[in-house]
Amino acid sequence: MSADAESDKMMYCASCGTPEIDDVKLKDCSACKSVRYCGVECQKEHRPQHKRACKKRAAELREEILFKQPESCHLGDCPICCLPLPLDSMSILMPCCCTVICDGCDYANQIRELKEKLDHNCPFCRHPKAKSDEERNRRLIKRVDANDPAAIRHMGGKRGREGDIDGAFEYWTKAAGLGDVGAHYQLSVVYRNGLGVEKDKKREVYHLEEAAIGGHAGARHNLACFEWENSRHDRALQHWIVAAKLGDENSVDTLKDAYRKGYVRKEDFASALRGHQAAVNATKSPHREKAAAAAAEVLKITTWASMIHTCPLSPCVRECVTPSTSSEELRSLLAAAGND
């Protein structure tokens, strides 16, 4: 059927032929979007003859959406610097507004507040930061009551860490119903491992697909593994390529192995690597690099303090140890002093 004929068909009710005019508004078939109806009665009458074509077209649409390359990962952009949020843990959920910001913007805000001797406020909504866990929980509950999907998902994670699997499942189900991509991924984990529910591969795959469509690289990687295990190699490779272009390291490593074994064409592999590098580069900024360096320094000092606390040092060794002393240098000092 030509494009013009297809367009003309969409101007009339598929059952009774009523044209769309000022007082008649046609509605698309919710599944296939390929025919329109003037009302529910016409849709029911046309269902027997449309059912097979509808199911086929709906499956085609699902495939098109599933394998379409998302513009960005499910995390989106930092609302302050407007750069894509990285796939690793270098981002922060602010409990006051449940907005996720990058650690670079949070670090820059902290430095500004220290220099200007200001109170600590949320970098996004400027609400004063919570001073206790109880206050943070109250703010999170307030956002949950407002039906904030991110807050509901976060509350589900909190319940899960506390051992309340049923509570976590309830929160994640609600968040997924509100369109939260991360909640779909969490539900896929629940159904895969049978956490509080029976293991259900069909539901696991459904939630993986929903998360993958929303740009969740980890979900797409897991979906690719599922396809590979079921010998649908072409579908698996497509998923890994899409995930790699979102910046997923695991998918890149898997594609490297598949390329060495001859499963991936050279041009597809090269395209995936270029897309991956572009996605990673897009998340970089001077503030984020400074935040990462500061976090590494804090970790180093914390490790040093822990070693000092757990190792009985003689005065001569203690004078030689500073936060910049590496673990290898400290071990040498201990060995020389007989404190091995």
Q: What is the pLDDT of residues 151-179, one digit of tens each?
A: 999 999 999 999 999 999 999 999 999 99
**CA dist 63 to 56, 68, 201, 212, 241, Å?**
11, 8, 19, 12, 16
The arithmetic mean of pLDDT across residues 129-158, rounded, is: 92
Distance between CA atoms of 141 and 154, rounded to whole angstroms?
Answer: 10
Per DSSP, helices labelled H in 146-232 are: 149-161, 165-177, 181-193, 201-213, 217-229
pLDDT at 296: 82
pLDDT at 188 over 70: yes
pLDDT at 202 over 80: yes
The single-letter DSSP state of residue 88 is S
pLDDT at 340: 47
Lowest mean pLDDT among 109-118, 144-153, 156-165, 331-340: 331-340
The arithmetic mean of pLDDT across residues 284-307, rounded, is: 79
- Give 264's contacts (C-beta < 8 A, 6+ positions apart): 237, 255, 258
Q: What is the pLDDT of residues 209-251, one digit of tens each?
A: 999 999 999 999 999 999 999 999 999 999 999 999 999 999 9
Q: pLDDT class for 332, splitting at 50, 70, 90?
A: low
Q: pLDDT class for 10, splitting at 50, 70, 90?
A: low
pLDDT at 22: 65
Q: CB–CB of 215/72 below 8 Å?
A: yes
Write out the E strands in 88-142.
91-94, 99-102
Distance between CA atoms of 107 and 126, rounded to whole angstroms?
Answer: 15
pLDDT at 34: 83
The arithmetic mean of pLDDT across residues 322-338, rounded, is: 58
